[in-house]
C-alpha cells in the first residue's frame, strides 16, 4: 500500500537504546547491527565492502540517474564546489533518489582515528576535492581507515572487542556518554548531530521518588485499557495485537495526532498506580545487578536527512515515531519495569555472546527472537525505514502502530527542476477553498474531518481490507466491515449515510480511520459525467508492472495502455468511454483502479466572473448620476465638478484596491521569476494611475471573490444580473431538456440560481462541486453554467446570449 500513497522519506539509519543505571550508562541495543553498510553486506563480499563504502555516490544519488545523459555528477559536483566557497556541504542537499543513501554519510559518521590530528576530511570542502580520489578502492583518508578498523572485529570475531560493541565506527562507550544526557532533557527533544547524522531521542528519567510516573490516584479500570490512546493506534488486548486496523476511540487523524497525544498523556499517567509492578523497583531482577536501578532510558533514532530538508524530516520522525515510541516504553516501564528488565535481559545475552564468541548475526537473531524490546526496535526500524506502518508489540499485552503519515495528494505539478513524486494523486480536491466556510457545517480543514461530500476510495480490494479488519477483531470491526461493504466510490458519505442508515458522523470517523491507516482515500464521488484525464503526474515507469496487474483485474477489457491512450486527447466526460449501460459498473471499477494508482485524475472546472467595460461604464454612469443628484439635492451646485472628480478617484481607488490588490506585490511570481525583471512596473504604476479613470473602465477584469465583493464590485454584479435578458430568445429548447420544469421556470433558471452559484465563481471552487453541495440536479447546474459562458465541450444546439456569457472558465485538476 505504500506504493500507492507516496510516503515521506524517513532517512532512518539506526535505532539505539541507551539506559543509565547507578553503574553508568549502557548501550543496550542498536539496530541494525551495522548501520550504513547493512544493505551491502548481502550483495558484496567482505572484501568488496571497502569499495562499496567509498563515495562513488557521495552526496548525491543524482549521479546514478544521470548516467544516461553521460553526465558524471561527481565530477559535476566537484566543479560546482570549486566555485562555491562553501563547498561540499552545499551539495549534500539534493542527494538521494529512492534508496536511503545509506552510504552517503558513512565516512562522515566514522570517527577519525584517535589522536589523528588532521581533520579527516569528512565534510565540507574536503569532500568535493577528494571525492574522486575516494572513489578509488585504496583510500588514504583517515576516516575510512578508522572505519575499517571498526569493521575489523566484524571480520575476525575472535578479536578482543566484539563487533557489536561499536557502532558507526565509534566504540560503544563513547555513544553511552554522548547519548545519556543530563536531566534537563527529561521528556524533551534530545538532538545531537555528528557530521551529517542527526541523533534524536526523547529521554525519560526516573522521578525523584524512584517511580516512573506521577502518583495521581484516580482509580479506574485496569491500566491496560488505557493504551488504546488513539494517537498511538495502540492496541490494548493481546489477541488483536498486530493489526493496525485496530479500532480506537478517536479517529486517527494526522493533524490532530500531536494534540491528542499530549492530552492523553496525563490521563494515562493518572492510572498507572493500579499496575502491579512498582515503578523503578524491579521486583525480579534477572541477574547479578539486582540492586541496580535504571535512572534513565533513551531511545535514540539516527537519521541522515538531506541538509535542505533537515528540520522537516527530523520533525516528522520525532513527532510521529520517536516521541510516541518512547512514551509507550515509558508507560510499559512504569507498569511492569519493562525497559529495565528487557535491558538486563539483552545485556545478559550479549555478555554470554561475548564469552562464546557468537557472531553478530547469531546474536541478533537470538536477541530479536528472545527479547520483545529488541524485536520491537527491530520492527520499528525495518518498517519505518521503508516507510511502512510499524505494528509493534512490546509485550503480549501492549502493542502500538506507528507511521509517518504519507503525503497523499498534491495540487502542484512538478517542473523539470523540482523533486518529483510520480504517482502521487494530483488534485486540488482536498485543498481548502473559499467556499469551505469555517462557520458552516463544512469543516474547512479537510484532513480533520472528511467533508461529507467526499466518497471513499479503498486502496486495496474490499475483501482484503475486510479480512484484515476482521482478523484484527477490534470492538469496531463489525461497524467497519459493515461500512466498507456499504461504501462506494460513486457515493458521497452523506449519500451512503442515507442509504445504509449509518450515521454520518460514524461514517466520517470510520473513513478517517481508514484514510489515516492508508487503506483508503477520500475523493470527490466518481461520476460518469465528470471528466478524467491521464494524470500528468502518473508514474509511467510503472506502466509495465501496472499493465500486468490491470490485466489480472480486468482480463476482458481494454488494456491499461489502451485505456490511458483513450483517456488522452481532448477531455470528455467519462460516460463517453463506457460502451453500454451494462458496462457502467465495471467501468466505474476500472476508473477507481486508475484513480487509486494515480493514473488518472479528475479534470475539474473553475470559473470567475468577467466584468466587461460596458458593465463598468454603465455602473460608472449610474454612479455619476447619483452623485450629481445628491449634490443637486444638497443645493450645492458650485462644488459639483470638483467633488465629483475626487469622488470619482475614490471609486477607482476602491476598485483598484479590491480587484488589483496584487499590483504592488511585485514579488508574487517569486517561485518562477521572469527573465526580464528590471521592474517595468514602477513606471507602469505611475502611468497607470494617471490613466486610471479611463483605462480601468476600458478594460475588463475579474471579480476575484464574489462572496466578498467590494461595494463597486457589488454594483457591477448587480449590473450584470440586471442585464440578463428576462425573456431570452433561446429558451425554447431548454424546456425539452428539462421536462420537469416548465418553460417559464427555465427562462428564469439562471436568474434564479445566479445568487446561489455566485460564491462558487471564485476560481478555486470547482463547478463539479455545485450539484453535490447544493443538492441540485447535475443537468440543471450545467445548463445554467453553460448559459453563463462555461465552455466544457461542444456547445450543442444551445444558442447563447452574449449578455449572459460572463464566466471565464479554466479546467485543471
Partner 1 sequence: MIKAIFYSKFDTIEGPKVVHQVPDGAIVPSPTAPSQPPFLTFSDVSFFVIPRQELCGNLLQVCTNGYRILGYPICMKSVRYDRNEFIFNFCIVLAEEEDFSTYKSVVQKLADLMHGLEEQSGFLSRDFSKSGEGKVYSLCEMLMEDLNNYCECMIPIDELNTLNIKLFPIYPSPPPVKAWQVPLFTLRYQAFMDENWDLTMQRIVPHINGVNSVRIISVLADTDFSLTCRALRHLLYYGCLFILDIFSFSAIYAPTAQFSPTIGSDEAMQLECARYVNLRFAPHPPTGPSSPLPPSLIPSPSANGTNDSTGTAPLSSSLTDPSSSLTREESRFDAEEIWPFLGAEEDPSTSPTTPPNTLHKPAIVDGAALVELYASLKQGQSVKQWYAAHTRSLANIDIRRFITFGVIKGFLYRVHKYACATSQPAPPPRASSFTPTALSSRATTGNNTPYAVSSVSEDAPISAVARRESSRERAGSVVSGGRNGNGNGSGGAASALWDEEEEVEDEVLAKYLDGTHCFDQVCTELEMSERELTARLKRYPWEVLIIHR
For residue 612, the minimal CB distance to partner 1 (Å) is: 7
Nearest distance from C-beta of residue 735 to partner 1, angstroms: 27
CB-count exposure of residue 537 (10 Å: 0-12, 13-18, 19+): buried
Instruction: Pick the closest to residue 601 from 407, 410, 456, 793 (CA basis).
Output: 410
- Give the CA dihedral 58, 60, 65, 71, nearest 10 degrees: -80
Segment interacting with partner 1, rule: CB under 8 A, options 169-177, 502-510, 619-627, 638-646: 169-177
Please, are residues 4 and 459 in contact by the beta-carbon 8 Å criterion?
Answer: yes
- What is the pattern of x (binds partner 1, CB under 8 A) and - over residues 339-378? ----------------------------------------
Contacts (CB under 8 A) with partner 1, residues 443-472? none
With contacts defined by CB under 8 A, name the span among 31-39, 92-100, 212-220, 583-591 that binds partner 1: 92-100
DSSP per residue over 585-640, as a string? HHHHHHHHHHHHTTSEEEEEEEEEEEEPHHHHHHHHHHHHHHHHHHHHHHT-GGGH
- Helix residue ranges, H only, 116-218: 125-135, 142-155, 172-178
Q: Which is nearer to partner 1, 114 or 642 (CB)?
A: 114
- Specify the stretch interacting with partner 1 by CB under 8 A; choose among 177-185, 208-216, 364-372, 719-727: 177-185
Residue 798 binds to partner 1 (criterion: CB under 8 A): no
Binding map of partner 1 across residues 112-141, x = CB under 8 A, - = no contact: x-xxxxxxx-xxxx----------------
Q: Please give the residues from 28 up to 47 whose contact with partner 1 meets the rule CB under 8 A.
A: none
- 66 or 263, CB closer to partner 1? 66
Query: Residue holding cell 551529517?
Result: 196
- Exposed / middle / buried, residue 301 (Cβ in 10 Å: 0-12, 13-18, 19+): buried
Query: What is the closest distance, in whole angstroms, from the C-beta atom of residue 564 to partner 1 in the complex?
Result: 5
Distance of closest approach, residue 247 Cβ to partner 1, in angstroms: 35
Give residue 627's Cα distance to chain centre: 55
Residue 806, all three cell numbers: 460572463
725 touches partner 1 (CB under 8 A): no
**Binding-site string for partner 1 from residue 567 to residue 606, where x marks contact by CB under 8 A and - marks none:** -xxxxx------------------------------x--x
Verify binding: residue 533, partner 1, rule CB under 8 A: yes
Query: Which residue in 174, 475, 504, 654 binds partner 1 (CB under 8 A)?
Result: 174
The answer to whether the bond into 144 is cis (omega within 30° of 0) is no
Q: Return the bridge partners of 425, or none.
A: 409
Q: Minimal CA–CA distance to 282: which of 335, 330, 328?
A: 335
Q: Based on the shown chain and the rule CB under 8 A, indicate whether residue 201 belongs to the binding site for partner 1.
A: no
Residue closer to partner 1 by CB (options 192, 623) is 192
- In angstroms, give the least distance from the CB of 26 to partner 1: 16
Residue of 206, 385, 294, 358 whose CA lies nearest to 18: 294
Site membership for partner 1, residue 699 (CB under 8 A): yes
Q: On the CB side of 150, how many CA atoms lie within 13 Å of its CA? A: 27
| 441 vs 670, beta carbon nearer partner 1 | 670
- Tell me how many residues contact partner 1 (CB under 8 A): 137
- Least distance (Å) from partner 1 to the CB of residue 768? 14
Output 285 or 571, the one with its CB closest to partner 1.
Answer: 571
**Residue of the chain from 40, 50, 80, 133 that contacts partner 1 (CB under 8 A):** 80
Closer to partner 1 by CB, 46 or 161: give it. Answer: 161
Question: Where would I find the H helices in 517-611?
Answer: 543-553, 560-567, 584-596
End-to-end CA separation in angstroms for the chain: 23
* H-helix or E-strand spanning residue 640: helix 640-659
Helix 323-336 and helix 254-271: axis angle, to 10°? Answer: 20
Query: Which grid coordinates are listed for 791?
Result: 465552455
759 binds partner 1 (CB under 8 A): no
Name which position in 42, 85, 221, 291 contacts partner 1 (CB under 8 A): 85
CA distance 346 to 377: 12
Q: Which is nearer to partner 1, 725 or 735 (CB)?
A: 725
Of 192 and 286, which CB lies nearer to partner 1 in the complex structure? 192
| Part of the chain binding partner 1 (CB under 8 A), chosen from 24-32, 192-200, 209-217, 361-369 | 192-200
Binders of partner 1 in range 257-296 (CB under 8 A): none
Residue 395 neighbours by CB distance under 10 Å: 16
Beta pairing, strands 166-167 & 170-171: antiparallel
Residue 613 as a binder of partner 1 (CB under 8 A): the answer is: yes
Q: Are strands 12-21 and 294-303 parallel, antiparallel or unpaired?
A: antiparallel
596 HSE (CA, 13 A, CB side):
23
- Residue pair 483/459 in contact (Cβ under 8 Å)? The answer is no
Which residue, 197 or 346, has its beta carbon nearer to partner 1? 197
Among 43, 45, 69, 556, binds partner 1 (CB under 8 A): 69
Axis crossing angle, helix 360-370 with helix 372-384, rounded to the nearest 10: 110
Write the interaction track for partner 1 spanning residues 303-332; mark x where CB under 8 A is met and - where it is not: ----xx-xx---------------------
CB count in 10 Å sphere of residue 721: 14
Looking at beta carbons only, is 242 or 610 nearer to partner 1?
610
Interface segment toward partner 1; rule CB under 8 A; list 322-330, 488-496, 608-616, 732-740: 608-616
Q: Is 706 in the site for partner 1 (CB under 8 A)?
A: no
Q: Which residues ranging from 638 to 677 are in contact with partner 1 (CB under 8 A)? A: 659-660, 662-666, 668-669, 671-676
Contact 144, 107 (CB under 8 A): yes
Mark 427-446 with x for binding to partner 1 (rule: CB under 8 A) and - for no binding: -x------------------
Quick check: 473 binds partner 1 (CB under 8 A)?
A: no
Half-sphere exposure in the Cβ direction for 267 (13 Å, CA): 15
Q: Which stretch binds partner 1 (CB under 8 A): 90-98, 285-293, 357-365, 637-645?
A: 90-98
Among 220, 505, 541, 732, binds partner 1 (CB under 8 A): 541
If one asks whether residue 189 binds partner 1 (CB under 8 A), the answer comes out as yes
d(CA 680, CA 194): 49
Pull the grid cell for residue 773: 453541495
Name which of 493 and 550 has its Cβ closer to partner 1. 550
Minimum separation from the CB atom of position 408 to partner 1 (A): 16
Out of 93, 135, 443, 475, name the contact with partner 1 by CB under 8 A: 93
Phi-psi group of 571: left, alpha or beta (phi > 0 → left; psi -120 to 50 → alpha; rest → beta): beta
Shortest distance, position 783 Cβ to partner 1, whole Å: 20
Taking CB under 8 A as the rule, does residue 412 contact partner 1?
Answer: yes
Residue 212 or 606 with smaller CB distance to partner 1: 606
Which residue, 382, 278, 256, 380, is CA-closest to 321? Answer: 380
Contact indicator for 609, 760 with CB cutoff of 8 Å: no
Which listed residue (24, 140, 503, 536) binds partner 1 by CB under 8 A?
A: 536
Helical segments of 250-337, H only: 254-271, 310-317, 323-336
Q: Are strands 197-201 and 399-402 parallel, antiparallel or unpaired?
A: unpaired
Using CB under 8 A as the binding rule, whether residue 695 contacts partner 1 is answered as yes
With vertex at residue 670, the alpha carbon angle to CA 76 and CA 83, rounded to the nearest 5 degrees, is: 25
* Closer residue to partner 1 (CB): 494 or 766: 766
Is 50 a residue that touches partner 1 (CB under 8 A)? no
Radius of gyration of the chain from its Cα atoms, rounded to whole angstroms: 33
* 111 in contact with partner 1 (CB under 8 A): yes
Closer residue to partner 1, CB minimum distance, 193 or 210: 193
HSE value, Cβ hemisphere, 13 Å, CA-based, for 706: 27
Amino acid at each position: 500500500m505504500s506504493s500507492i500513497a507516496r510516503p515521506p522519506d524517513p532517512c532512518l539509519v539506526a535505532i539505539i537504546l541507551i539506559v543509565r543505571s547507578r553503574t553508568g550508562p549502557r548501550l543496550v541495543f542498536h539496530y541494525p547491527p551495522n548501520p550504513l553498510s547493512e544493505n551491502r553486506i548481502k550483495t558484496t563480499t567482505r572484501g568488496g565492502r571497502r569499495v562499496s563504502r567509498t563515495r562513488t555516490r557521495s552526496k548525491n544519488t543524482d549521479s546514478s540517474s544521470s548516467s544516461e545523459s553521460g553526465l558524471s555528477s561527481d565530477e559535476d559536483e566537484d566543479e560546482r564546489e570549486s566555485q562555491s566557497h562553501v563547498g561540499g556541504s552545499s551539495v549534500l542537499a539534493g542527494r538521494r533518489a529512492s534508496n536511503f543513501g545509506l552510504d552517503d554519510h558513512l565516512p562522515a559518521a566514522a570517527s577519525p582515528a584517535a589522536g589523528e590530528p588532521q581533520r579527516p576530511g569528512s565534510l565540507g570542502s574536503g569532500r568535493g576535492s577528494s571525492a574522486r580520489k575516494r572513489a578509488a578502492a585504496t583510500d588514504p583518508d583517515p576516516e575510512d581507515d578508522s572505519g575499517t578498523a571498526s569493521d575489523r572485529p566484524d571480520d575476525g570475531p575472535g578479536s578482543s572487542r566484539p563487533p557489536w560493541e561499536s557502532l558507526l565506527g565509534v566504540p560503544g562507550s563513547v555513544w553511552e556518554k554522548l547519548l545519556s544526557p543530563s536531566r534537563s532533557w527529561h521528556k524533551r527533544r534530545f538532538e545531537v548531530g555528528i557530521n551529517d547524522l542527526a541523533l534524536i531521542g526523547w529521554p525519560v528519567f526516573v522521578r525523584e521518588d524512584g517511580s516512573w510516573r506521577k502518583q495521581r490516584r484516580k482509580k479506574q479500570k485496569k491500566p491496560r485499557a488505557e493504551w488504546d490512546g488513539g494517537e498511538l493506534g495502540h492496541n490494548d488486548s493481546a489477541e488483536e495485537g498486530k493489526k493496525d486496523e485496530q479500532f480506537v476511540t478517536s479517529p486517527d487523524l494526522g493533524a490532530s495526532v500531536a494534540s491528542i497525544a499530549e492530552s492523553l498523556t496525563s490521563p494515562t499517567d493518572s492510572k498507572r498506580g493500579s499496575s502491579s509492578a512498582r515503578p523503578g523497583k524491579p521486583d525480579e531482577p534477572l541477574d547479578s545487578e539486582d540492586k541496580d536501578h535504571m535512572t534513565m532510558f533513551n531511545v535514540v533514532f539516527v537519521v541522515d536527512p538531506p541538509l535542505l530538508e533537515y528540520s522537516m524530516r527530523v520533525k516528522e520522525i520525532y513527532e510521529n515515531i520517536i516521541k510516541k515510541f518512547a512514551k509507550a516504553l515509558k508507560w510499559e516501564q512504569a507498569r511492569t519495569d519493562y525497559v529495565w528488565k528487557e535491558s538486563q535481559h539483552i545485556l545478559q545475552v550479549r555478555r554470554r555472546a561475548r564469552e562464546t564468541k557468537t557472531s553478530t548475526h547469531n546474536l541478533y537473531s537470538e536477541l530479536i527472537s528472545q527479547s520483545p524490546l529488541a524485536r520491537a526496535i527491530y520492527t520499528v526500524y525495518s518498517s519505518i525505514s521503508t516507510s511502512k506502518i510499524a505494528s509493534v508489540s512490546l509485550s503480549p499485552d501492549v502493542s502500538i502502530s506507528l507511521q509517518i503519515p504519507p503525503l497523499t495528494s498534491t495540487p502542484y505539478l512538478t517542473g523539470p527542476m523540482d523533486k518529483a513524486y510520480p504517482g502521487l494523486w494530483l488534485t486540488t480536491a482536498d485543498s481548502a477553498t473559499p467556499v469551505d466556510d469555517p462557520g458552516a457545517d463544512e469543516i474547512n480543514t479537510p484532513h480533520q474531518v472528511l467533508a461529507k461530500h467526499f466518497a471513499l476510495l479503498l486502496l486495496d480490494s474490499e475483501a482484503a481490507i475486510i479480512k484484515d479488519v476482521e482478523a484484527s477483531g477490534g470492538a469496531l470491526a463489525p461497524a467497519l466491515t459493515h461500512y466498507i461493504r456499504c461504501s462506494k466510490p460513486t457515493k458521497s458519505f452523506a449519500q451512503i449515510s442515507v442509504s445504509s442508515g449509518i450515521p454520518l458522523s460514524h461514517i466520517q470517523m470510520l473513513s478517517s480511520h481508514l484514510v489515516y491507516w492508508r487503506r483508503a482515500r477520500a475523493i470527490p464521488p466518481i461520476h460518469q459525467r465528470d471528466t478524467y484525464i491521464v494524470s500528468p503526474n502518473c508514474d509511467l515507469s510503472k506502466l509495465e508492472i501496472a499493465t500486468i496487474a490491470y490485466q489480472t483485474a480486468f482480463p476482458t477489457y481494454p488494456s491499461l495502455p489502451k485505456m490511458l491512450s483513450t483517456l488522452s486527447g481532448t477531455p470528455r466526460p467519462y460516460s463517453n468511454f463506457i460502451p453500454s449501460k451494462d458496462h457502467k459498473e465495471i467501468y466505474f471499477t476500472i476508473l477507481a483502479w486508475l484513480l487509486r494508482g494515480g493514473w488518472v485524475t479528475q479534470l475539474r472546472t473553475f470559473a470567475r466572473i468577467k466584468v466587461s467595460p460596458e458593465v463598468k461604464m454603465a455602473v460608472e454612469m449610474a454612479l455619476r448620476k447619483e452623485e450629481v443628484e445628491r449634490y443637486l439635492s444638497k443645493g450645492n451646485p458650485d462644488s459639483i465638478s470638483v467633488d465629483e472628480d475626487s469622488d470619482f478617484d475614490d471609486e477607482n481607488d476602491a476598485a483598484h484596491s479590491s480587484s488589483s490588490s496584487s499590483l504592488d506585490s511585485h514579488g508574487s511570481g517569486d517561485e518562477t521569476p521572469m527573465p526580464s525583471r528590471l521592474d517595468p512596473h514602477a513606471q507602469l504604476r505611475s502611468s497607470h494611475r494617471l490613466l486610471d479613470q479611463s483605462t480601468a473602465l476600458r478594460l475588463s477584469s475579474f471579480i476575484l471573490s464574489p462572496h466578498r465583493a467590494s461595494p463597486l464590485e457589488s454594483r457591477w454584479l448587480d449590473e450584470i444580473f440586471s442585464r440578463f435578458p428576462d425573456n431570452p430568445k433561446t429558451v425554447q429548447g431548454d424546456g425539452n431538456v428539462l421536462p420537469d420544469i416548465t418553460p417559464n421556470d427555465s427562462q428564469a433558471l439562471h436568474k434564479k440560481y445566479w445568487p446561489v452559484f455566485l460564491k462558487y465563481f471564485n476560481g478555486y471552487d470547482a463547478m463539479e462541486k455545485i450539484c453535490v453541495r447544493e443538492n441540485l440536479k447535475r443537468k440543471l447546474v450545467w445548463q445554467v453554467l453553460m448559459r453563463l459562458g462555461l465552455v466544457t465541450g461542444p456547445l450543442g444546439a444551445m444558442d447563447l446570449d452574449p449578455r449572459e456569457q460572463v464566466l471565464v472558465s479554466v479546467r485543471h485538476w
